[in-house]
Structure 1
């Protein structure tokens, strides 16, 4: 048979088949049977009724058991979905892909002899039948391949599209007789064991030992609901100068979990914090063999705490959180100003840290800069290793776009175009995903690779939204939060060091990040003359060269550190 060539028509037909099957069997059954280790393909075959060429939807699965259950349970739905996607003459077939067989268990010589005798006795009566079925399947596939290869898959799909208006009626009419015409792979069917062939005597003693239930004395509390990792791994994380330090820390946490705990990741939105947390959870489950790994958001932790207080089951909740092997909490800044939740979070973190359990947190700011986070909680979260993640640099954005376009778009995309687009978007990885979806949509619409002008035309709002220019008001707010001042403290007439030096720094940053004139900057910060804004430039440059601390008391910090914190807040928004 001739297989698909990755054209847009083929991809659309496969998507129509998947959508029709999803609607007929429901989301839960589709996710259970057709998302893991199953893929769809199209081939040209011949109809068993008249021998004419038709489209065959191939469902490729990795195991004979799954293939048998699909054929027995979803024959009608698969047939109807194929007819809707590729026309009323379309059929389907289930293929079993060869998988790498695991190494057999070591057995004693006596056990091997007994197993060989039993296998010989059971399979002797079925060998001739299986050999005949295999021969018929081989000859049938050869004849179909010779006749099907002469027909174009694209032309058959075009014919099915032309008659698509009648496909729904045909599918309803064919549901009663579809089970008799379903095409299964004869070889795959012959390899499937019958239900009555399994015997308890064939189990090894090791298997029986593993199947014994655990003692009730060692029963652990149920785990809190953990967030799915979504296939995010350390191998799929794209590294660059913006996140290399955090990635190295994550690798160290996997290799030596008790060295730097808790691990705290912070950075603006779209820098890969959630990806790293999900990847760490996956690594601890697979590589470190930890069974009780919990990944959740701070909002989920808060909701669980509130529900447990209302339902008077706080003790059970706290036990479930404190009996884990690893705890990973995303968006810790959500806990700010929630006094009772912060207290219980602190006790949980202290309990796990004292037991040597690995802890990983993430937030948009470092612990000491999150307003509303108590000093004890911030100190405990910063006691391990604090790793910043900056906005994605241009090279990292380019590599990310390459990967997303390869997985989300039907056609390829020129590297020169992707490099030009990566220079237009900001450092948010989620915006890069939106651009990749836009390119895929334009490919479907134009049936070719889009140009940069077309991307600008249809994705202008997306390109502009990725770069939010700071304003005088946002700079004032960021400086006040960094130095712990009131909202309008920089506009006051106070001349104390605690206020005047942050005001000078704010005027310097306003000139660097906005296009405002010196007069406008001075007026916004309550100064009478533009000369104050001009002198602020030279003052801050002297502070940077000399390393002079800015501010007073506990809030004093170097000029370079202050600028880095303010710019981090500006990126977060």
Structure 2
């Protein structure tokens, strides 16, 4: 094999490793795919060398669909996949071979996106050690299994695409609530590093993780960037702790600083981890200096995450900060119609619009509704009716029910406005607390049917007339387009109200 072919095989191996990690997870990758030694092209065929027979058999029987889809992600459709036992190399002195194995292990750790190096299974390294000590070479190495990348081994039907991760802009619904964030994401997909870091924030179910998945996919496919790491802050923390106690920090730092792009979700879980936060700060500095792309996501802006630290929050806010609001009626309708049309359910769009108008703004709930509708359609040979749909979705479209209590409303308001849970029952009179308390009173009156007196008693021993004034004030603020103070920002009252209702309905 020439030098050019060897370099191409290394690139293909690294890209396929990244694609497999995204599909099967770090643990399964390390256990079964960690013994893949090399991948190379032979015409329209991708040949995958596996170090051990047992791992080859396991991949062939359990993970060929994942392997084929990973090849499609990297090479496109129409490429077949072959597995074969890796040919043995000539025996070398133990010392030289061990040094080479250490170098390969370190390189694999760098390619591995986010896997803690200390979790590598001893079995994965055992075959190469045995071969280095002069084990007899295997004879008659032939491809064990060859299956088209887009066809099942046991059927002529196409393999259905995995739907765990969004891989295309066609699956993203863009509207008023996420237009700025989607535009910024497209911008960095077109020109990586043009807005780094990009920080996406919003309550759960607003599409932050979906946008990050699309960005990661686009960077790999369009720009052929091999070292694109997408993970959560918890995974980053676990890998850091494992490196400190096990493999050492140099390997960890090479893994995360020598990247093409780093995407970290759920940043709000970093506070309280001083050493991890400090390492994250240095990692950000290194990647920004290299002109590479950083993307973060959290449930609130970086400067308002308690305990994050001014230095780290400032660096995360140093690029572009974009908010995502709960999905409005139009976006929920478009998303539900898109999901149902993709499954060819044949449900009238007006019925879907009515359903979307009676559910919360959480995108995950809308996706769950589409799954239920698919099951409902499969149960009946004739078109489903609106009554059948509302019956199967009764627990999700019970708008205005009395299932919410004072405590539920208090928790939702405090989480949305970034206040301590007991703030609404205190005597505090600051603008943030007063507005939050009035909003909670308004929602309590709307959703619980409790008397003004009971509401006032719960929220800080307020009088009957104070609750009446609060409900009228909130209704007027929403109608007049006034704003609420949340941290250092002013957010439209209607948007805050929708965020709280979204949190209530989605539990």
TM-score range, shorter chain: 0.5 to 0.7
Q: 1:491 and 1:34 mapped to 2: Cα distance?
A: 54
Q: Deviations over 1:117-172 (max 9, x none)?
A: xxxxxxxxxxxxxxxxxxxxxxxxxxxxxxxxxxxxxxxxxxxxxxxxxxxxxxxx
Q: Secondary structure at the match of 2:204?
A: coil
Instruction: Determine the structure 1 residue equivalent to 2:198.
Output: 263
Instruction: Determine the structure 1 residue equivalent to 2:434.
Output: 503
Q: 2:483 and 2:168 mapped to 1: Cα distance?
A: 43
Q: 1:442 and 1:413 mapped to 2: Cα distance?
A: 11
1:452-467 aligned within 5 A: 452-464=386-398
TM-score, normalised by the number of residues in structure 2: 0.62
TM-score, normalised by the number of residues in structure 1: 0.56
Contact 1:332 1:361 in 2 (8 A): yes
Shift of 1:569: 6.1
Q: Deviations over 1:81-116 (max 9, x none)?
A: xxxxxxxxxxxxxxxxxxxxxxxxxxxxxxxxxxxx
Instruction: Determine the structure 2 residue equivalent to 1:27.
Output: 62
Q: Deviations over 1:173-224 (max 9, x none)?
A: xxxxxxxxxxxxxxxxxxxxxxxxxxxxxxxxxxxxxxxxxx99x9796134
Instruction: Determine the structure 1 residue equivalent to 2:78.
Output: 62
Contact 1:267 1:568 in 2 (8 A): no
Q: 1:550 to 1:375 in 2, by over 3 A?
A: same
Contact 2:441 2:470 in 1 (8 A): no
Residue 205 of structure 2 corresponds to residue 274 of structure 1:
no
Q: 1:414 and 1:482 mapped to 2: Cα distance?
A: 35
Instruction: Determine the structure 2 residue equivalent to 1:233.
Output: 168
Instruction: Determine the structure 1 residue equivalent to 2:5.
Output: none
Shift of 1:312: 4.5
1:450 to 372, 384, 392: 384
State the superposition RMSD in angstroms: 4.2
Q: 1:482 and 1:398 mapped to 2: Cα distance?
A: 24
Residue 322 of structure 2 corresponds to residue 391 of structure 1:
no
Q: 1:570 to 1:451 in 2, by over 3 A?
A: closer
1:474-493 aligned within 5 A: 474-477=408-411, 486-493=420-427
Instruction: Determine the structure 2 residue equivalent to 1:350.
Output: 285
1:290 to 200, 210, 225: 225
Q: 1:224 and 1:521 mapped to 2: Cα distance?
A: 55
Q: 1:316 to 1:521 in 2, by over 3 A?
A: same
Residue 115 of structure 2 corresponds to residue 223 of structure 1:
no
Q: Secondary structure at the match of 2:264?
A: strand
- Uncovered stretches (5+) of structure 2, i.e. residues with no partner: 1-57, 85-102, 116-161
Residue 361 of structure 2 corresponds to residue 427 of structure 1:
yes
Q: 1:267 to 1:490 in 2, by over 3 A?
A: closer
Instruction: Determine the structure 1 residue equivalent to 2:180.
Output: 245
Shift of 1:384: 1.4
1:525-544 aligned within 5 A: 525-536=459-470
2:305 to 342, 357, 370: 370
Q: 1:550 to 1:30 in 2, by over 3 A?
A: closer
Contact 2:336 2:367 in 1 (8 A): yes
Q: 1:466 and 1:223 mapped to 2: Cα distance?
A: 51
1:208-219 aligned within 5 A: none
Contact 1:365 1:568 in 2 (8 A): no
Instruction: Determine the structure 2 residue equivalent to 1:438.
Output: 372
1:134-149 aligned within 5 A: none
The structure that has the greater radius of gyration is: 1
1:311 to 240, 246, 250: 246
Residue 457 of structure 2 corresponds to residue 523 of structure 1:
yes
Q: Secondary structure at the match of 1:424?
A: coil
Instruction: Determine the structure 1 residue equivalent to 2:128.
Output: none
Q: Secondary structure at the match of 2:200?
A: strand
Shift of 1:546: 12
Q: 1:569 to 1:320 in 2, by over 3 A?
A: farther
Instruction: Determine the structure 1 residue equivalent to 2:234.
Output: 299
Deviates more, 1:336-345 or 1:227-236: 227-236
Shift of 1:285: 1.9
Deviates more, 1:23-32 or 1:388-397: 23-32
Instruction: Determine the structure 1 residue equivalent to 2:273.
Output: 338
Contact 1:478 1:566 in 2 (8 A): no
Q: 2:426 and 2:114 mapped to 1: Cα distance?
A: 49
Q: 2:400 and 2:275 mapped to 1: Cα distance?
A: 36
Contact 1:482 1:565 in 2 (8 A): yes
Shift of 1:266: 1.4
Q: Secondary structure at the match of 2:262?
A: strand
Q: 2:408 and 2:290 mapped to 1: Cα distance?
A: 43
Shift of 1:403: 2.4
Residue 336 of structure 2 corresponds to residue 404 of structure 1:
no
Deviates more, 1:293-302 or 1:337-346: 337-346
Shift of 1:375: 2.5
Contact 1:482 1:562 in 2 (8 A): no
Q: 1:569 and 1:368 mapped to 2: Cα distance?
A: 21
Shift of 1:493: 4.2
Q: Deviations over 1:360-387 (max 9, x none)?
A: 1111222233333223222221221111
Contact 1:233 1:280 in 2 (8 A): no
Shift of 1:248: 0.8
Shift of 1:326: 0.9
Q: 1:341 to 1:548 in 2, by over 3 A?
A: same
Q: 1:301 to 1:252 in 2, by over 3 A?
A: same
Instruction: Determine the structure 2 residue equivalent to 1:203.
Output: none
Shift of 1:531: 1.9
Q: Secondary structure at the match of 2:277?
A: helix
Q: Secondary structure at the match of 1:259?
A: coil
Q: 1:443 and 1:547 mapped to 2: Cα distance?
A: 44
Residue 449 of structure 2 corresponds to residue 414 of structure 1:
no
Q: Secondary structure at the match of 2:111?
A: coil
Shift of 1:318: 1.7
Q: 1:31 to 1:572 in 2, by over 3 A?
A: same
Shift of 1:24: 12
Q: 1:30 to 1:357 in 2, by over 3 A?
A: closer
Q: 1:546 and 1:445 mapped to 2: Cα distance?
A: 46
Contact 2:482 2:492 in 1 (8 A): no
